[in-house]
Amino acid sequence: MAEFTLDCLGEACPIPLMKTEKKLEGLAVGDILIVSIDHSCAMKNIPEWARKQGHNVEIDEVDDGEWEVVIEKTK
Amino acid sequence: MPETGQASSGSSIRRSSTSSRRKPKKNQIPLGMLVVVLMVVVGLVQANREPMLGFYWMMGGVFGFILQKSRFCFTASMRDPCITGSTSVTRAVLIAFAITTIMFTAIKFGYASMGLPVPGMSYVTPISFATAAGGILFGIGMVIAGGCASGTLMRVGEGFFMQILSLFFFVVGSLVGAAHFGWWKEKFIIHGPSVFLPDVFGWVGAVVLQLLIIACLYKAAALWEEKKMGGSED
């Protein structure tokens, strides 16, 4: 049940998504990954991808135009 | 964006440390209202000088708003199938193509049936290997830049700083391209055949054929996602 963060601030699509994909691969089931993004389309495609993979996902707008995507690895 | 604002309230994922820091957000609605009022004023001033300018201004604003809210992204429609296998944006683009096919054919047919010159025929340009080569170059560029023309403009408007760089070189490239276009046109483009589908298949035939092709692509996109991601949910 470890918690990890991934800083993708300032990176455009599809870099945040690909980094998330890679990072999540190395985590254990039950671990939580928090991805910081400020590219609005990553706010759409990271959750979409992660949900389709079956993970639990939440989006948190921490500031105007800045989000944290919280992913709980479930498998 | 349904998640914004109250997203943190119904949290089912338990986080330990990083969730505490939260700045109070500024209310952007008054500023938004001000921008709307300014846009209307500028639009009216423009329309007074030249009616079409006001129309363009309005269309630009509406277009940008829809683009931003829908997250419609031509880049993602071509890119996501390759990197994640998701084709939801691809299918959205195909639906948009189907709708425009019907609408534009209706407009053109309307003019043709009244015996008037069909509008927009200058866009029926020759096809050749130059079309494909240009498409590939544009595709490479838009994936690196993180957006096509409309996408880059929209994200600059959102305040994503890196893409101001994209916009700058987009302008530079367009200028260079425009300056050289005559040469390319004369040497390569003009030699290709130009096809206007209604001339070949008739008005109904052209629409049916185009919609059939779009339907096939849609089906292929759905199957692709199923194969790559193991079943689509929507």
Tell me the per-residue pLDDT of A9-67, one tens digit each, with 9 for 90 and over: 888 888 888 899 888 888 888 889 999 998 888 888 899 888 888 899 998 888 888 88
Chain A residues close to B20, C-beta within 8 Å: none
> Is there a catalytic annotation at residue A13?
yes
Q: How far does B4 lie from chain A, in Å, by closest CA? A: 6
Q: Does the beta-carbon distance from B71 to A56 stay under 8 Å?
A: no
Per-residue pLDDT of chain B (234 residues; tens, 9 = 90+): 344 444 444 556 666 555 555 667 778 889 989 999 999 999 999 999 988 999 999 999 998 888 888 878 888 888 888 888 888 889 999 999 999 999 999 999 999 999 888 888 888 888 888 889 989 999 998 888 878 888 888 888 888 888 888 899 989 999 999 999 899 888 888 888 888 888 889 899 999 999 999 999 999 999 999 888 775 444
User: What are the structural domains, with CATH classification, of chain A?
Assistant: 3-72 (3.30.110.40)
Q: How far does B39 lie from chain A, in Å, by closest CA? A: 22
User: Cβ neighbours of residue A62 under 8 Å, at least 6 residues apart?
Assistant: A36, A68, B21, B22, B23
- Sketch the domain layout of chain B as residue ranges: 23-70
3-state secondary structure labels for all residues of chain A: CCEEEEEECCCCCCHHHHHHHHHHHCCCCCCEEEEEECCCCHHHHHHHHHHHCCCEEEEEEEECCEEEEEEECCC
Q: Does the beta-carbon distance from A44 to B17 stay under 8 Å?
A: no
Beta carbons within 10 angstroms of residue B197's beta carbon: 16
Of B19, B25, B232, the CB nearest to A63: B25
Classify the C-alpha dihedral A41-A42-A48-A52 as positive or negative: positive
Q: How far does A26 lie from chain B, in Å, by closest CA? A: 17
Size of interface A-B (CB pairs under 8 A): 97
